[in-house]
Amino acid sequence: MKKSSIVLAVAVALLLLGSMMVISYQPDSVSSRVATSAPSTTWSSSGSGNHRIVNMALDNTPSASSGPLIPHPSNSIVVVPVYNAFVSHNTTSNEQNNSVHFPSGNFSKITVSFFDQYISNPFDDSFVVTVNGVEVLAGNTLELENTSVTQNITEYGSIMNATSSVFVTSPQFNPGYSSALSVWFTFYNGTPPAEPNKVIPAFTNVNFPTPRNAFPNNVPIPFNVSRTSNVTFPENVTSAYLNLYEQQNGNDEFWYTLQPPYREFRVFIANTLVATVQPYPNIQTGGGDLFLWQPILAIGAEMYPPHTINLNPYLSLLKGKQNVTVEVLNDENVWIRAAANFMLTTSHNPDGQGHTSSALQFSDSYYQSPLTNATTESIPQNAAYLNDTQFVNESLTSSGVVPNGAQSIYSTTDQAVSFFANSTTFDPSFNIIQNTSFGVALVYVENFYLREYINTTTSTIVQSRAGMISQAYSMTGSTSNQYYQVNGTLIEYVVLNPFSVVLGFNVTQIRDVSTSTYSTASTSFGHTGNFHSNTTSDVVQGNGIFDAQLNSQFTITSLTYNHAVTQKTVTSHAFSSRTGSSFYYMNEKAVNDSLVNRNGTLLYRTVIKSSHGGP
């Protein structure tokens, strides 16, 4: 897939790219294997606790183990379409079961779980799960260990038919690489929440590659890359939102340290801009210092949940056949596992024409020293430093109205983005030889800082009328305040004699997300209302240094020193006018002083939970 230069366990050939850079994405060259003779997947609704389900799922040998233990919560139905399926570079990286039987009934929650059994792939790889051609889960595997993630996908319940197809992939790019994949779905019996009754994918599991090499010399070259698809919408959409999936990769693994650092996805329907989406500033496993991230993971190391965009102001566009375009600003290699799913609620009445309006304000101030030469696409090879700073302020406001039978639907959305990033690199071409305390060496130093605020408010009013007299109305709305921060320093010495590397890395990663939703309804019989809010703060801090011996292939042969400390805190408050409030706090710390093991030792983990019932 990709590998940052700092993942020196396999290669330090990063000398040409700089320590926060990555090598190019490698497309999967093997074809998908479709299960045609495997027994149809069945399910059971009895039992509780944990048990192993093996008899009704794909089982391709050889395998390193007998597969994961599938949890089966009480009062649930578990469906296992793919179980312990062997994937490798020499066979296939894909598994597909076209005879999956999902249950019917009322379900309060539906989850999908992905399990990657590590066998011999030392790198992390992207993965994706689709149901009937719709992407429902995407993420990244861990390095040198098993990966297990679960995602709530209740909103996709409408696509899970009695006979369905489930596809899962995780590329094994080099000879000798292999793992075993399992996927299962859990249906929890209960009263179903209000969810979309129609899902239309515009894209599923696509890449956004640059048209040519975006790192020809010693600095990256940005491109705006887009894809367009034709989508046919029904004529009676009364509510809509978009789930957009994206995953950083290749040079863009550390996009917030590049030139320029700002990234954005723009979504157009019928050539009208309907959304701007800022990617998550994640750190994948192995990023910076490969000894920091086991057993504690960086934020976003495993799962890439979708960005959710309210489309209610644009209901008048969601009719018939339309062009849908997704564009990546400042793409500098390839963004992968991208998908765009329209999540629709429809009525029995065809909508009227309606109208929509929107306004984008975009201010971009970018400073780079020394400047990239447009002809050579490089900075001077002897440059002692490279500094770049970028400020972006953006607002997108939209409003729309559409008639629906005897109703009118009024919607507004306002989003404001404030972005700042700075990166200073010393010896950016990594070619200045210095005398150091470690000996004659190449020395690379990079300081980086990202700060981003994303604030969004939405409102939708549905008003019924009899003649000119207002009879009833309902109102729904939401606010979202997101804050992301990543900052740190990377120092790397490549000592020429004896051939070795000393790498130090410290990083702080913060993700604060606060959301609230409300709904009210008024009729001649009275008023009703509900309110929900959630605030979550994630903070990860890592500080590590190691000294390793290298061979002539820039591969680590042994460690002479290693010390890595990682600490993570999670704080969450939730409130619901229906169910009450809850509180969650977790604090954990790990250290790795081993000269042979990637996994560190968990020093402590503290968890505090409380809840108070509602009225």
Nearest Cα neighbor of 93 from 15, 171, 145, 12 is: 171
Residue 85 lies in a domain: yes
DSSP annotation of 466 reads: E
Helix ranges (H only) for 196-258 are none
Question: Order of strands across the sheet with 320-331?
Answer: 223-233, 320-331, 264-269, 272-277
Give the three-state DSSP class for 231: strand
DSSP annotation of 306 reads: P
How far apart, in whole angstroms, are the C-alpha atoms of residue 173 and residue 250? 14
pLDDT at 614: 67
Contact 324, 340 (CB under 8 A): yes
How far apart, in whole angstroms, are the C-alpha atoms of residue 213 and residue 173? 20
Give the three-state DSSP class for 445: strand
How far apart, in whole angstroms, are the C-alpha atoms of residue 46 and residue 72? 9
Residue 96 lies in a domain: yes
DSSP 127-195: EEEEETTEEEEEEEPPSSS-EEEEEE-GGGGGG--SSEEEEEE----STT-EEEEEEEEEEEESPPPP-
Contact 2, 22 (CB under 8 A): yes
Sort 230 into a burial class: Cβ within 10 Å, 0-12 / 13-18 / 19+.
exposed
Nearest Cα neighbor of 282 from 309, 246, 258 is: 246
For the chain, what is the radius of gyration of the CA atoms?
Answer: 25
Residue 9 lies in a domain: no
pLDDT digits (tens, 9 = 90+) for 279-313: 999 998 888 998 999 999 999 999 999 999 999 99
Contact 98, 34 (CB under 8 A): yes
Tokens of 391: 């400020």
Sort 528 into a burial class: Cβ within 10 Å, 0-12 / 13-18 / 19+.
exposed
Residue 162 lies in a domain: yes
Tokens of 113: 């779980």
State the first-to-last Cα distance of the chain, in angstroms, to the nearest integer: 51
Nearest Cα neighbor of 56 from 35, 74, 76, 75 is: 35
Q: Structural domain tally of the chain?
A: 1
Domain of residue 188, CATH code: 2.60.120.230
Q: How many residues does the chain have?
A: 615
Instruction: Give the residue numbers spanning the domain of 172.
Output: 31-193
How far apart, in whole angstroms, are the C-alpha atoms of residue 298 and residue 485? 13
Sort 50 into a burial class: Cβ within 10 Å, 0-12 / 13-18 / 19+.
exposed
pLDDT along the chain (615 residues), means of 10: 33 30 26 34 38 33 65 94 93 94 95 95 91 97 92 97 94 89 96 93 97 95 97 94 96 95 98 97 90 94 95 95 98 96 89 86 98 96 96 98 87 98 95 90 96 97 68 86 98 92 97 96 79 97 96 87 97 94 98 93 97 79
Torsion region of 559: left, alpha or beta (phi above 0 gives left; psi -120 to 50 gives alpha): beta
pLDDT at 15: 29
pLDDT digits (tens, 9 = 90+) for 99-119: 999 999 999 999 999 999 999
Residue 58 lies in a domain: yes
Residue 124 lies in a domain: yes
pLDDT at 350: 67
Residue 460 lies in a domain: no
Residue 41 lies in a domain: yes
How far apart, in whole angstroms, are the C-alpha atoms of residue 268 and residue 354? 18
Torsion region of 400: left, alpha or beta (phi above 0 gives left; psi -120 to 50 gives alpha): beta
Distance of alpha carbon 56 from the chain centroid: 31
How far apart, in whole angstroms, are the C-alpha atoms of residue 383 and residue 388? 14
pLDDT at 372: 96
pLDDT at 102: 96
Q: Which residues does residue 568 pair with via DSSP β-bridges, in sequence order?
A: 540, 588
DSSP 246-291: EE--GGGGGGGGSSS---EEEEEETTEEEEEEPPP----TTSS-TT
DSSP annotation of 14 reads: G
pLDDT digits (tens, 9 = 90+) for 522-575: 766 778 889 999 999 999 999 999 999 998 888 888 999 999 999 999 999 999
pLDDT at 3: 33
Contact 448, 436 (CB under 8 A): no
